[in-house]
Amino acid sequence: MNLTLNDLTIDTKEIDFELLLEDWRWLIGNDVFPLLVSALGDIFLSRPNGHVFWLDTSCGTFTEVAETIEKFKKMTL
């Protein structure tokens, strides 16, 4: 079976990210914006400088995964 990115992520059009991220602000700060949400509930966020981070909601960690959004996109293709 071939999986696509759409199979591994959820549609975020109806998500209230302010509410969703409210309890994580202590860890992620206020200057992030969402890029995508995994089907398991993890969130990939970016800072204004373009760095991309993975919010692992099961472990409570916030880890940089790419220096730019473009590099992140290449990783997800």
- Name the pLDDT band for 66 (thresholds 50, 70, 90): very high
Task: Return the structure tokens found at 15.
Answer: 């998500």
pTM score of the predicted model: 0.90
Q: Where do the domains of the chain lie?
A: 5-76
Torsion angle of alpha carbons 2, 17, 63, 37, nearest 10°? 0
Average pLDDT for 41-46: 97
Average pLDDT for 16-35: 96
Is 4 or 38 the better-scoring residue by pLDDT?
38
Q: pLDDT at position 67, please?
A: 97
Report the b/e string of 33-48 with b at 16+ CB within 10 A. eebbbbeeebbbbbee
Average pLDDT for 3-19: 90
